[in-house]
Chains A and B, each alone.
Chain A
Amino acid sequence: MASTNPPTEYITLVSSDDYSFVIRRSAACISPAIKRMLDPANGFIESQTNTCRLDNINGLVLEKVCEYLYYNEKHKDAKDVADMDLPMELVLELLMAADYLNGMFCI
């Protein structure tokens, strides 16, 4: 059982097909859903293990999501940022993932 350690700098996102993505906490927390998941105040298991298992997002899509989270964080203060390049075949799944992760409609 993981200890209730202080928030780490990096956290892990796990896809439904068991791909792990270690990304910066600040980037992950751009999604309100992930942010709440990791909130130590609530004390759910995710906040203790610093790992979020997202059971309805597969690795392909989660990779793009992580890419977007970094992209978003990198440009959060910039203006006139060009849209991120998205493969057409993933667009619908990405849209659903965004809805699920709450509020990432800025693709």
Chain B
Amino acid sequence: MANRPPRQGLNGNDVDFDTTWQILERAFLEIHTKNASQLSFEELYRNAYKIVLKKKGDALYNKVAEFEHRWLGDTIRVRIVKLLSAPFLFNDDIGRTLATSAERRAGGEGVLKALKQAWEDHQVCMSMLTDVLMYMDRVYCTDHRQPSIFAKSMGLFRDQILRTPVRQGEDNLITILTRIILDQIAMDRDGEAIDRYLIKSNVYMLEGLYESEQEVEDEKLYLREFEESFLQKSAQFYREEGERLLKESDAGTYCHHAKRRIDEESDRCRSTLSESTAPKIQRVVEDELIRNKMKGLIEMDSGVLYMVDNDKFNELHLVFDLEARVDPRKPELTKALQQIIADMGAKINEAAVATSQAPPQAAPAPEDGEGDKSKGKQDKQINQQTQAALKWVADILDLKDRFDKIWEISFGRDQTIQTALTRSMSENINSFGRSSEYISLFIDDHMKKGIRDKTDQEVDAILEKAIVLLRYLQDKDYFETYYKKHLCKRLLLKKSQSTDVEKQMIARMKMELGNSFTLKLEAMFKDISLSEDLTRGYREHVAGLGDADRKRVDLTVSVLTSMTWPLEAFRSANEDDGETRAQIIFPPALDLVRQGFERYYSEKHSGRKLTWQTSMGEVDIKALFKNKSGQMRIHEVSCSTYAALILLLFNDRQPDDQLSLEEIEAQTNIPMQSLKRTLQALAVAPKTRFLSKEPMSRDVNPGDKFSLNDDYLPKTVKIKVGVVSAGNKVEGDRERKETEKRNNDSRGFVIEAAVVRLMKTRKELAHAQLLNETISVLSSRFKPDVNMIKKRIESLIEREYLERMEDAPVPSYKYVA
């Protein structure tokens, strides 16, 4: 045997193709009918080997293909088609009506099982065939660029089983299969139990089959035939479900439902379909249930407005969560929230305007009911205004707190939402013309009484609130004006509860708004403490003079730097500019003190000019009154300097002596308006009627005559004469106009200064750029009006600080040194 020529195996004419193929074919049939255990692998392998060796590889390949073609087409397909019941042969709309869901489910499962079986058998058999035909695959298929016999047979399965119409002119199996799976999924969505594993097996089959024998990854039948229909069908399902839910249920339920559906679908992809579909179906559900419905959902009766109104934090969180899925910017929710804040803010603003403009008699009952501390009728209107301001601030803070809470609890401190909320709050505050004044009044109110009996922490919280509001404020220069005015009154009239807290507030503003903002405020505090030193120094100086004159009038002074203090706040309403210049005539006792202090002051600080602001002074007088039993009693009267001057006029007179209004004016030089008001306090107000007036009427008119009121019986030891302009209150319309005018003037200067500074460093700038940079430089103080900037630039050109550049392509300016 060793000398058997090796050649024999090579030419071997003895190999007869047909006989050999018959052996193989018989064996293959055995394999397909699961009877392989008696077959010899080696024999089959050797026969295939021989055929290929004889260059008959193509014939063998075709024979095998033909065998599989027949097997699948004649045996397997027929077996499956038998299982198809009527409903599956029609389009689902017709089909679904033909049978109950239970029937359809059972029938569908039968088909699915048969397909699964066919597919698994085919896989096993073909893997055995592939092994036996290994030599053919390796030699023939590789050399002739044929797909492996396995790939070929998979293609045959696809064409014979799935792609061939089940009967003449009817759908093919893959269409029916898709229909069955979709039907089962629809049942699953409706809550009926289905055999997920069975569907999954069929999905495996679709994933294992390709459009062509090249087996390109994105040509899987699953993608080509099934997924598209699944997504379409799901989109339709969720579109309808979404619309129905919007009509039938409330927003909270909708959100819960949508969330559940999304989770369900991704579960379904894992358990029933293919993971690769998960992101796609997710998108479909998100589109149909969220993106296209978000607007409707938010605007529902039970939508976001309702949730905000009723503190539905959970639902809000769901809405937020849902929209965050489809768009990180959450445009619909943000828009809705902004709208709600704007509406609520508008309501607060309107309420504030309404309260402040309501006629005083219209509101007294509720005002008192609210525990308003107002005493005396003349205070009522002031209080009403102030209450409006305080209420406005409280409401705005409430609004902010409310949305901050929602933001924290429901929106996971989302950045985008925060920005939107801040913008809306800021718009609310800035769209309200009096916000600067009201915020300052809020602080004023707390400084005067609010911080009594409060712990440091509570005070801190109030200050923080004020700062929060301030942060939103655009026109900080307005605020500065008002704050200065209010602070001024607090300091001079000693209304402030605690200098410490005042200073804390300033420190906070300094941190928030910068040094320049608080410079003048700090200077005011400095003036006050210097004045205290000065007063003490002057008293020591007087004591040092030696003659302890008991009649000498004691003096407390506040020396105020005129540029720092908004003294016009006290004057503007009462006096015209011309009148302020008139010198008040002091009685000798007072004049002595005045001159004494002026001397003392000019010794210490030469070159400074003191102007006496008589209208702001206060005097304590000790006076003797007869009581009912005729005894004389000493009472202390505390009144304004003007009132004191008037009372002193009557000091040396007999009870019957009368002085006319004009005489009093001539003897004191008090400006007429202040005089009238002071006289009203002294002769009309019931508790402090030191004087009697002829004729008896409320108003003081030219020609009225005044005399001492002998019947006046003070009830208390200390008497306080109603001090004019004691409290800080909301400005009247005229005052506001003046404040605005003043503020606009000062804005003008600030703008000019900014423009000149910019031009000085840049030398040349285009018009638009200059505008932009000016606005950005000034933005920390206020939002300048563009027209105002333009006017200021014009004016600077006229005054030859700037000039227009003739040859520039865009309008530009040049700095003139």
Contacts and interface: CB of A to CB of B under 8 A. Distances in A.
A52 B42 contact: yes
Contacts of B36: 42-44
A32 interface: yes
Contact of B134 (A16, A36, A58): A36
Interface string A41-56: 1111111100011111
Contacts, number: 68
Given A17-B1, A42-B128, A44-B36, A93 B6 contact: yes
A103 B137 CA distance: 13
Interface in A56-85: 56, 58-60
Given A102-B135, A102-B138, A46 B128 contact: no
B810 interface: no
Nearest to B138: A102
Given A96-B6, A102-B134, A37 B45 contact: yes
Contact of A53 (B2, B38, B42, B135): B42
A102 B42 CA distance: 13
B32 interface: no
A24 B235 CA distance: 61
A45 B135 contact: no
A52 B49 CA distance: 16
Contacts of A59: 1
Contacts of B42: 37, 46, 52-55
A98 to B, nearest CB: 12
A56 B46 contact: yes
A60 B41 contact: no
Nearest to A4: B37
A92 interface: yes
B9 interface: yes
Contacts of A16: 1
Contacts of B49: 100
Contacts of A42: 36, 41, 127-128, 131
Nearest to B2: A60
Nearest to B37: A43
Counting chain A CB atoms within 10 Å of each CB, which of B4, B42, B49, B135 scores highest? B42
B40 A33 contact: no
A103 B37 CA distance: 26
A37 B41 contact: yes
Interface in B33-63: 36-43, 45-46, 49
A20 B612 CA distance: 134
Nearest to A32: B134
A43 B131 CA distance: 12
B132 to A, nearest CB: 8
Contacts of A17: 1
Contacts of A32: 134
A46 B41 contact: yes
B37 A48 contact: yes
A46 B6 CA distance: 26
A82 B395 CA distance: 95
A96 B8 CA distance: 11
Counting chain B CB atoms within 10 Å of each CB, which of A36, A42, A44, A59 scores highest? A44
B4 to A, nearest CB: 7
Contact of A45 (B1, B4, B9, B41): B41
A39 B36 CA distance: 13
Given A46-B42, A52-B42, A33 B134 contact: yes
Contact of A92 (B6, B38, B127): B6
Contacts of B9: 56, 96
B758 to A, nearest CB: 78
B6 A53 contact: no
A25 to B, nearest CB: 15
A34 B10 CA distance: 21
Counting chain B CB atoms within 10 Å of each CB, which of A16, A17, A45 scores highest? A45
A34 B559 CA distance: 115
Contacts of B2: 58, 60
A54 B40 CA distance: 11
Contacts of B138: 102-103
Contacts of B128: 42, 44
A88 to B, nearest CB: 13
Nearest to A60: B2
B627 to A, nearest CB: 126
Contacts of A44: 36-37, 39-41, 128
A100 B132 CA distance: 12
Counting chain B CB atoms within 10 Å of each CB, which of A47, A56, A59 scores highest? A56
B131 A36 contact: yes
Contacts of B134: 32-33, 36, 102
A58 B45 contact: no
B122 to A, nearest CB: 15
Interface string A20-39: 00000000000011001101
A6 to B, nearest CB: 16
Contacts of B6: 92-93, 96
A43 B38 CA distance: 9
Contacts of B43: 55
A46 B40 contact: yes
A63 B127 CA distance: 31
B45 to A, nearest CB: 6
Nearest to B35: A43
Contacts of A102: 134-135, 138
Contacts of A39: 131
A55 B46 contact: yes
Interface in B132-152: 132, 134-135, 138
A59 B2 CA distance: 8
A53 B131 contact: no
Contacts of A43: 36-37
B39 A58 contact: no
A45 B46 contact: no
A43 B34 CA distance: 10
Contacts of B40: 44-46, 53
A67 to B, nearest CB: 16
B138 to A, nearest CB: 7
Given A41-B127, A44-B39, 7 more contacts: A33-B134, A42-B127, A44-B40, A45-B37, A56-B9, A56-B46, A100-B49
Minimum-distance CB pairs A-B, first 8: A44-B41, A36-B131, A37-B41, A93-B6, A42-B128, A60-B2, A46-B41, A92-B6
7 contacts: A4-B37, A33-B45, A36-B41, A41-B127, A58-B4, A102-B135, A103-B138
Interface of A: 4, 16-17, 32-33, 36-37, 39, 41-48, 52-56, 58-60, 92-93, 96, 100, 102-103
